[in-house]
Amino acid sequence: MKFLLGIYKKQYTNPADRELVDSIRVSGKFDNVELEIEETELKGELLTETRKFLIGITKSRNIEETPSALSIAIGQVADSILKKASLVKTWSDGSSLPLSKAFIDGDEAWNKINTLINPNYRVREVHTARTDLEIGHKAIEAHAEFQAQCSTQFIELVKFSNKIEAIESIVKPTGRIKAFLEMYRAMKKDTSFTDKEDWKRIQTLKAEAELELTEYLNNWRTEARQLLDSIMSILPGELSQKGLDKSLLTEFEKPLIELRESIDKESLPAKVAGLKSLAALRISDISNRIFQEVEKKKKRQDKQKAPEREVKKVKPTEVAMVTRVRTEPEWDDLRDKLDRHVKKLLSEGFDVELE
């Protein structure tokens, strides 16, 4: 056996190495130094089992049963696995695919193996952790296969889920839309999108939910259209009954016609679901406008019906013989007399015009 000194898993075989000497001498760095006892020779059984593990992953028997050869093969396998894992992680960040714990643990385990340089240490570590490494490898392979085969479908699945979540509260709790959303959330929580059976089931539910969604959309569009049609059919008679000008019909119908023409163009479920409420709002606005026009007409009629009042022309000489003033008291006296006279005429129902 031999002793190995290391700092953060970096091994040193030269005891005079400057970095190693500083780490031993400086108290602040000493805690980072590790001393390991390593057997210089690996047992044949360990080498055989490690080789068997690598053959199972690579599907190739062309691997020599020596620490050096096994270490090289391990490095090649780790590089290949970690490259796939890296591509999956990059795609996952953009697509929102939740990575399973097995994938994350596997990525970490193979990264750890890849950092080991000493052949004996690397081979021994693989032998010790081969069960976890195999589980991690299978998880990474499953995710890589899913990305290669189902990436487009998964993105469509996420978009569909986001689209119908907004109408979840107004659809049947026992329908296929609800069933789809429940399974989607369960798979997201369990990170089981790469499970082939779960994936097949969620795709079936998606197809069923899409059919149900089409029925909802058609019904919502029909309800909105019928409401608009019913109002537009009675609007001319309503204006006529209220005695309003026919020219107002075009103005009042315009927002209703525009909304009706947009019904089939709208595709977002939440907006289609709100078409009937939007139509009701437009109708309410028109109802308010009709009321306002009726009030305007009434005021005009009331104004026209008001009797014209007789006009009395008032001259200052009617209240005072002398109308020339020289002092303020004289003006105050004339003004007061004129004021009393004008107010009296107004109270008697006359309009007053001063001359």
- Which pLDDT tens digit goes with each residue over 127-145? 999 999 999 999 999 999 9
- The predicted structure's pLDDT at residue 325: 76
Taking the C-alpha atoms of 62, 104, 139 and 148 in order, what is their torsion angle to the nearest 10 degrees? -100
Give pLDDT tens digits for 322-355. Answer: 677 788 887 878 788 888 878 887 788 778 777 7
Provide the pLDDT confidence category of residue 33 given band limits of 50, 70 and 90.
low
- The predicted structure's pLDDT at residue 306: 56
Give pLDDT tens digits for 96-127. Answer: 999 999 999 999 999 999 999 889 999 999 99
- The predicted structure's pLDDT at residue 283: 94
Q: Say which residues have a Cβ less than 8 Å from residue 13's Cβ, sequence separation at least 6.
A: 4
Q: Are 312 and 345 in contact (CB under 8 A)?
A: yes
Q: Are 126 and 133 in contact (CB under 8 A)?
A: yes
Provide the pLDDT confidence category of residue 2 given band limits of 50, 70 and 90.
very low
- The predicted structure's pLDDT at residue 340: 86
Give pLDDT tens digits for 253-286. Answer: 999 999 999 999 999 999 999 999 999 999 999 9
One-letter amino acid at 326 equals: R
Tell me how far CA of residue 129 lies from CA of 6, 32, 41, 105, 344, in angstroms: 21, 24, 19, 12, 114
Give pLDDT tens digits for 241-253. Answer: 988 888 899 999 9
CA–CA distance, 299 with 88 (Å, rounded to integer): 74
Q: Say which residues have a Cβ less than 8 Å from residue 27's Cβ, sequence separation at least 6.
A: none
9 φ, ψ (degrees, to nearest 5): 70, 0
Q: Say which residues have a Cβ less than 8 Å from residue 58's Cβ, sequence separation at least 6.
A: 73, 77
Q: Which H or E element spans position 6?
A: strand 2-7
Give pLDDT tens digits for 187-216. Answer: 999 999 999 999 999 999 999 999 999 999
- The predicted structure's pLDDT at residue 1: 45
